[in-house]
Structure 1
């Protein structure tokens, strides 16, 4: 995906200049981890520990946790000290499986698993199109 000003402003538009400088200077991403589920593909996710409320980012269709919005949001949470979690749906990105073998029902199960098993405390969910 091209690095456009419009995409950057999606997240950066609401930040102060100080926070924008802090985010652009940080280059460390969290490590990819894998959740093993009985009879289901492993889900790849990134998790940042921090204070509540945490943020859960749900990538849009054919989008992955390594996208610009997800990474910018992770850096924002890191700079503010909030917990953050994002993941790749079954068959997408770094998760196991082939995308064509899954549908919206399977991805709903992925979201419910993430919310039930991988996060703690109050969360703010972010959807992307």
Structure 2
């Protein structure tokens, strides 16, 4: 059953959670313009039920069933949503599973509240993508239109209408960069990355691996896997990675 949490900022966050009895809880952090009904979130929900693990999935504001319009949101807002959900809906250190943008959100959570993180799994994580992928990849005309109009639309394989990109998203993203300063992650981290990912290429995962300071960091490249990372093999790898980082003290 869908429940709602009102954050300190007044946003209503739709979520599903289960209590569970065994091991640290698991929190799924979805990607850009995705929601908690996606394949990976549902798979982890089913896995948590089989393993009797506490589990939380939720929609950022402007996503899925949560309040607000997508165009009103930005990385800082969505990180606040995640921190509120973890603070009010979970107990003790959690394993954060961040998919694409969710990997960036997970890193922001870890930087702000490291005591609440037992371990992390990044699935094609996309830290700093608003600057490094979007802004740096825009044409001069796109940049000019964004600055002039406050919003542009870019094509997407996942939405026939394309993705609306706002000036606020880009400018706020610059205030939440994680690859420009030391990134201490004092817990196990697993990065899962497809070699056929054209949305977040393997170079991003390699950059994160090189930059992060973690005592136990492994990167797994899966030949032929794309950005969805949702084949049965890939899904099983996600569950295995969660189990790996869950056992650390």
Q: TM-score, normalised by structure 1?
A: 0.73
**Residues 74-110 of structure 1, C-alpha deviations (whole Å, 9 max, x = no match):** 0001000101001000011000110000100100101
Instruction: Give yes or no for contact 2:11–2:61 (8 Å, CA) kept in 1.
Output: yes
Q: Which residue of 2 aligns with 1:54?
A: 25
* Deviation, structure 1 residue 37: 3.0
3-state DSSP of counterpart to 2:26? strand
Where 2:54 maps in the other structure, the secondary structure is strand
Q: CA deviation at 1:38?
A: 4.6
| SS of the residue 1:77 aligns to | helix
Q: Corresponding residue for 2:14?
A: 44
Deviates more, 1:37-46 or 1:103-112: 37-46
Structure with greater contact order relative to length (CA < 8 Å, sep ≥ 6): 1
| Post-superposition offset of 1:122 | 2.5
CA-to-aligned-CA distance 1:17-41 (integer Å, 9 cap, x gap): xxxxxxxxxxxxxx11000235422
Let me know the Cα RMSD of the aligned residues. 1.1
Change (3 A) 1:113 1:39: closer
Q: Which has the larger radius of gyration?
A: 2
TM-score, normalised by the number of residues in structure 2? 0.39
Q: 1:40 aligns to what SS in structure 2?
A: coil
Q: Choose the corresponding residue for 1:87, options 51, 54, 58.
A: 58
Q: Partner residue of 2:125?
A: none
Q: Which residue does the alignment assign to 2:34?
A: 63
- Cross-structure match for 2:182: none
| Structure 1 stretches of at least 4 aligned residues deviating more than 3 Å after TM superposition | none
Tell me if the contact between 2:45 and 2:55 (Cα under 8 Å) persists in the aligned partners. yes
Q: Aligned pairs, how many?
A: 99
Q: Tell me, yes or no, if structure 1 residue 114 matches structure 2 residue 85.
A: yes
1:125 maps to which residue?
Answer: 96
Stretches of structure 1 that go unaligned for 5 or more consecutive residues are: 1-30
